Amino acid sequence: MEQGEVWRLLKDIFSISQDADFIMHQPAIREDVYSYEYEDGPGPDTQNLAFNLTHGSNTPWNARILDMLLKELQRRNVEEQWPFQRSDGYYKVILEDRYKRLWTAWRAAQPKVTAKGILETAAEVEERLITKRGKNLKSVCQTTCQRNKYIRRAKMLEHIIKLKDDEDDDLPAWMWLQKLIKTLGDGGMSSEESNVENNVQCVLRVKNMAWRHGIE
């Protein structure tokens, strides 16, 4: 719930609904950052917070913004009477982690130097982001499928073994199979992408039976 409140604050302050929206964030003006850090300048504008996206969260400018966000969290906590109380350090860690995620999303959307030694165009950046997002979604889907398959198999084996009597001849085989599935874990399950599992392809062959007439 605490992380949800931190995310709600960031959505309200920066007008975003997901991490990817942060790619449109306008970084702080370099001269303003330099003035604050080296010339006793005024610092971040409370009405228009802008991170210094050339660095992490530990710079004086970004640390100041995180402190301002922390105070706003404290204000909301009192005003809305949250049913939980956490230390400032606890919220600070969540804020820093959220900033890193937003910063990563913003950095990924910046033009990169191509193999030809020139910066990517806006269309090339968009294509790269779409491709990366597709790969991430594919990876998440595969992981989810493997996890679900493992859970189904583990539950099925547990149920079968419970139904077996100690005298059943095939009980050791089922117990061995259960141990094997647990040893393999999620990662040992094949994905649902194709009909070929674990590089083993099932091939059906017609078997000639002695009692069956041959058909030409």
HEC string of 18-35 equals: CHHHHHHCCCCCHHHHHH
Secondary structure letter of residue 21 according to DSSP? G
pLDDT (0 to 100) of residue 45 = 93
pLDDT (0 to 100) of residue 199 = 54
Question: What are the φ and ψ backbone dihedral angles of 113, each rounded to 5 degrees?
Answer: -80, 125
Q: Backbone dihedral region of 207: left (phi > 0), alpha (psi from -120 to 50 degrees) or beta?
A: beta
pLDDT (0 to 100) of residue 192 = 56
**Cα angle at 196 between 195 and 201, to 5 degrees?**
120
pLDDT of the chain along its 216 residues, tens only? 778 899 999 999 999 998 889 988 999 999 999 999 999 899 999 999 999 998 878 899 999 999 999 999 999 999 998 888 888 999 999 999 999 999 998 888 888 888 888 888 878 777 877 777 666 666 666 777 778 888 888 888 888 888 887 777 888 888 888 888 888 887 777 765 544 445 555 565 666 656 556 655
Closest to 188 (Cα-Cα) out of 139, 216, 149, 131: 149
Whether 41 contacts 35, CB under 8 Å:
yes
- Does the pTM surpass 0.85? The reply is no
pLDDT (0 to 100) of residue 169 = 82
Calpha distance 125→111 (Å, rounded): 6
